[in-house]
A and B are shown apart, each in its own frame.
Chain A
Amino acid sequence: MTQMNWLVAYPEILLLVAACVVALVDLNVTDPKRRVTFWLTQASLAAVALMHGMAMQTGLGAEGAAASVYGMQGLVVSDPMGHMLALCAALAMMLSLAYAGPYIGERELLKGEFFTLALFVLLGISVMISANNFLVIYVGLELMSLSLYALVALRRDNALATEAAMKYFVLGALASGFLLYGMSMMYGATGSLVLSEVLSAIAKGQVNPTVLTFGVVFVVAGLGFKLGVVPFHMWVPDVYQGAPTAVTLLIAGAPKLAAFAIAIRLLVEGLSGLAHDWQQMLIVLSVMSMVIGNLAAIAQTNLKRLLAFSAIAQLGFMLLGLTPTVIDANTLSAANGYSSAMFYVVTYVLTTLGTFGLVMYLSRAGFESDEIADLAGLAKRSPWLAGVMTVFMFSLAGVPPMVGFYAKFAVLQSLIVTNDPGYITLAVMAVLLSMIGAYYYLRLVKVMYFDEPPADAVQVESRGGVGALLACNGAAALVLGVLPDGLMALCRDVVVRALAG
């Protein structure tokens, strides 16, 4: 653990270099469409994704081992779970930028900063995912958050966007404060910032339990803010709605993977000795999120706001997967739960990217297409897009054969196989609440299929490659639904290896 082992940090270093290069190259780009910047960004993201993809199988680091390898004197870790999440994040970022391309071009957002900041967001995400130290997690989180604040405010003469940026910044800073405060208590109690040392210090049991419990409350609250679960969800609807859709996509996509990763890193790899405490908190957060998210979504008329409440409910469901315990050093049920949650979050990001991508696809200069009514009669105007959106909606509602069903199924089974009456009750509550959730997803299908298009409906223009990409995204949600085994097995595999250390 005391070696530098630079290899472990190669993808992050590449990303940092790429961000700087993109920033510099963009200064010399005269093309108003900034094709060079766009493709350079995509190429570097593809390279990063490739590195992670290869590392997932063979591992990084001098030994080339597939298990966890530590680098930078124990600050960062390379394990298959991290690589898989980082791979998904990089792919999500590529897809987000591809969807965002035409949208930002029509709104004077097409600046070099957009791409540089997006790369920095991904760098923050990567750092968080591979962190093995409280402070590194914090640094990654701040890097991601600050870049996102700037992105939200990129359209600075738009009142909604600036308001959203302000809200996001103030609440986000508060959340970071919470997290940092919790971390400092942990440090005070255990005398270390390294996750594994904190774990063993707690296991030895010679630490002040009061400080630890307080600390874990703050850590969970900070995580709750970043995940956007009730009661720390107030920023989510406003930011989702106020930010330009391209930026909403950046917030709603890849960062959820990072939030999942730090939840695992902090709570499982660092604080699993306190599992009994944080699991109860997560259960409360998750049930409240599903109740409030699902109920509030019913009343929305704005599509982005609806998707924000839907995100709250979905992440609440995902959190359920983190609640099954490690029983007597038997990690089976915990690994089952965590891998289900991971499958959930990966597939959720896949569908979310598509939904926001579709909203952007329908928008035009001066027309955001972010009201539910804007989708009216889409099945008549563009059957393909309506079909793709329907796949996403049924997936989010958890209706087979879409992938969202298997995500819900995996989380539910992880609860039920504990054979604990409490968890089974939780599972029943979750299915009842997701039935309420089905209503508003169905309503979107209804608007697209059953309603007549308004007389002044904007014609859906073809955007070439982006449309094909959306169709592929929808096909992925369907194909992963028919053949979910590969991804499920992969998630289980990487989580088991991460828990094994």
Chain B
Amino acid sequence: MGLLSVAIWLPIAFGAVLLAFGRDNNPGATRWLALVGAVVSFLVTLPLISGFDTGTAAMQFQENMVWIERFNVRYHLGVDGISVWFALLTSFITVIVVIAGWQVITDRAHQYMGAFLILSGLMVGVFSACDGLLFYVFFEATLIPMYIIIGVWGGPRRVYAAFKFFLYTLLGSLLMLVALIYLYYKSGGSFDITTWHKLPLPMSAQALLFFAFFAAFSVKVPMWPVHTWLPDAHVEAPTGGSVVLAAIMLKLGAYGFLRFSMPIAPDASREYAWFIIALSLIAVIYIGLVALVQQDMKKLVAYSSIAHMGFVTLGFFIFNELGVSGGLVQMISHGFVSGAMFLCIGVLYDRVHSREIASYGGVVNTMPKFAAFALLFAMANCGLPGTAGFIGEWMVILGTVKVNFWLGALAATALIFGAAYTLWMYKRVYFGDIANNDVKELQDLNAREFLMMAMLAVAVMVMGLYPKPFTDVMHVSVNELLQHVANSKLPKLP
């Protein structure tokens, strides 16, 4: 059994054990087992990066077995420079989520922890699948635990949010399924993604495939105007759910663009790049303005996520190395930063049970340690140099300016809006006089919360100060991808 298989199935096995043997009367044992599972699952993903060969764009740590012989579906796993960091990010965030839910989740804790561990394994599966159907199975299967997480442990409108989340995503991915089967037919009976990459396709077929994939991935990213499920899902989900949604699940969509849309339909991608770029800029600017007026902190961060993901898709579809690498770096840094932002809101919510900005004020007076962490993450969210948030945005803007100065200028306005809504929220929640009795009675971070904040803070700082390990890993794969996309796949005219 290869490393990737272990990384996928180990958390799932721990999750299954938790579901099977956990009881409401033994939450302590449940939590420790979940933590052990999450930590071990994280540790097994570390060799993926330490043993990664940055000199090649080929898939590494490959496993290739027959899965469904009838349709030539293979259990084919592998990671390249584009996907390897996400496997790590997933297992890292899962550790944080388990710690974050430690005392907060008292109702059916074993199911909560089990769902997150299973979800973690499935998401690693999405990032490492090299077979179209295998990818689809993992991609869709992630919906089930998330649906349950939002619906069971969510806020007052959790049922609405859970349905909206599930059905939106399902609609998009079912169209992708049709596209996958069509590719299976076109390639003469293969679900292998690299075979599909080489498959010549006429423009009409490429356009249909491009939009079928667009349906699946744009909902997942989410891009304007199919983003409306995200604020609902984020607001209603429990803290852990929001963290995983923002930090990893959104990346599944962006990753799909790189793995499917661009290499399989390169001509259509270039043809319709203006469309994606336009939607991305709308997301960056318009959603940034929407975030500015939010009263609910979680909603604000949710809109901020949409705007940041707009940067990612913008970077991908300007087709140069700075843009694509920048988008990837932005995905990883956004994983840390948005996760951290949601955790901060969770910390406040656990104490006061309100997410309204107006319920707070002067938190820094009662929770100084917490406010310091929150400031770091807020700064990272608006892209302060030295934090993780800066690198990706800067690379994308630089890449965009290379293509077109005015596009770059428009994208750069996001930095202004980002700073505006983040810092204004920070000012209203943390600074000023103590607003009310709730804030007055706040207790600063306990050791558990301090630990998870510190882990994320280290990640944000390290990535901001020394991004080389991240970009080095991506470099070869991204170049390979861009070269591939630059070549037309249209069948040669006789």
A442 and B147 in contact (CB under 8 A), knowing A401-B137, A416-B182, A450-B152?
yes
Q: Mark B140-180, 1 if CB is under 8 A from A, else 0.
A: 11011001100110000011001100110011001101100
Q: How many residues of B contact A (CB 8 A)?
A: 36
A431 interfacial by beta-carbon distance below 8 Å: yes
Of the candidates B137, B144, B148, B167, the one whose C-beta lies within 8 Å of that of A439 is B167
- In the complex, the chain A residue whose C-beta lies closest to that of B140 is A400
Min CB distance, A411 to chain B, in Å? 10
A417 touches B181 (CB 8 A): yes
B468 interfacial by beta-carbon distance below 8 Å: no
Q: How many residues of A contact B (CB 8 A)?
A: 37
A123-131, A268-276, A485-493 - interface stretch: A485-493
A401 touches B174 (CB 8 A): no
A435 and B67 in contact (CB under 8 A), knowing A394-B144, A449-B151?
no
A210 to B66, CA, bound (A): 50
Main secondary structure of the interface of A (DSSP, over half): helix
A427 interfacial by beta-carbon distance below 8 Å: yes
Q: Mark A456-493, 1 if CB is under 8 A from B, else 0.
A: 00000000000000000000000000001100110010
A387 interfacial by beta-carbon distance below 8 Å: yes
Of the candidates A380, A434, A484, A488, the one whose C-beta lies within 8 Å of that of B174 is A434
B69 touches A413 (CB 8 A): no
Min CB distance, A127 to chain B, in Å? 30
Of the candidates B68, B159, B163, B181, the one whose C-beta lies within 8 Å of that of A412 is B181
Q: Tell me the residues in window 160-219 of chain B with beta carbons closer than 8 Å to chain A beta carbons.
A: 162-163, 166-167, 170-171, 174-175, 177-178, 181-182, 184-185
A24 to B181, CA, bound (A): 55
Q: Mark A413-424, 1 if CB is under 8 A from B, else 0.
A: 100110100001
B177 touches A412 (CB 8 A): yes
A399 touches B167 (CB 8 A): no
A401 touches B141 (CB 8 A): yes
Q: Mark A385-412, 1 if CB is under 8 A from B, else 0.
A: 0010010001000011100011001101
Count of CB-CB pairs between chains A and B under 8 Å: 96
Of the candidates B163, B175, B185, the one whose C-beta lies within 8 Å of that of A428 is B175
Inter-chain contacts of A484 with B (CB < 8 A): 68
B185 touches A416 (CB 8 A): yes
A400 and B185 in contact (CB under 8 A), knowing A435-B170, A485-B69?
no
B136 interfacial by beta-carbon distance below 8 Å: yes
Inter-chain contacts of A409 with B (CB < 8 A): 133, 177, 181
A412 touches B136 (CB 8 A): no
B185 touches A438 (CB 8 A): no
- In the complex, the chain B residue whose C-beta lies closest to that of A490 is B70
Of the candidates B70, B111, B185, the one whose C-beta lies within 8 Å of that of A489 is B70
A417 and B177 in contact (CB under 8 A), knowing A435-B167, A485-B67?
no
A435 and B152 in contact (CB under 8 A), knowing A401-B141, A442-B166, A450-B158?
no
Main secondary structure of the interface of B (DSSP, over half): helix
Inter-chain contacts of A449 with B (CB < 8 A): 148, 151-152
A427 to B148, CA, bound (A): 29
A383 interfacial by beta-carbon distance below 8 Å: yes
Min CB distance, A497 to chain B, in Å? 15
B144 touches A399 (CB 8 A): yes
B141 touches A400 (CB 8 A): yes
A438 and B166 in contact (CB under 8 A), knowing A416-B181, A450-B152?
yes
B405 interfacial by beta-carbon distance below 8 Å: no
B32 interfacial by beta-carbon distance below 8 Å: no
A383 touches B137 (CB 8 A): no
B184 touches A413 (CB 8 A): yes
A347 to B181, CA, bound (A): 21
B357 interfacial by beta-carbon distance below 8 Å: no
B349 interfacial by beta-carbon distance below 8 Å: no
Min CB distance, B210 to chain A, in Å? 16
B71 interfacial by beta-carbon distance below 8 Å: yes
Inter-chain contacts of B151 with A (CB < 8 A): 445-446, 449-450
A432 interfacial by beta-carbon distance below 8 Å: yes
A446 to B162, CA, bound (A): 9
A435 to B144, CA, bound (A): 15
B184 touches A417 (CB 8 A): yes
A409 to B181, CA, bound (A): 8
For the complex of A and B, 10 pairs with smallest distance between CB atoms: A431-B174, A400-B137, A488-B70, A450-B151, A417-B185, A416-B181, A485-B68, A413-B181, A400-B140, A489-B70
- A residues adjacent to B (C-beta < 8 A): 379-380, 383, 387, 390, 394, 399-401, 405-406, 409-410, 412-413, 416-417, 419, 424, 427-428, 431-432, 434-435, 438-439, 442, 445-446, 449-450, 484-485, 488-489, 492
Q: Give 5 CB contacts A-B under 8 Å.
A: A435-B167, A439-B163, A446-B151, A450-B151, A492-B70
9 extra A-B contacts, CB within 8 A, seeds A399-B144, A435-B170: A380-B108, A399-B143, A400-B136, A405-B140, A406-B68, A412-B177, A435-B171, A485-B68, A488-B68
- B residues adjacent to A (C-beta < 8 A): 19, 66-71, 108, 111, 133, 136-137, 140-141, 143-144, 147-148, 151-152, 158-159, 162-163, 166-167, 170-171, 174-175, 177-178, 181-182, 184-185
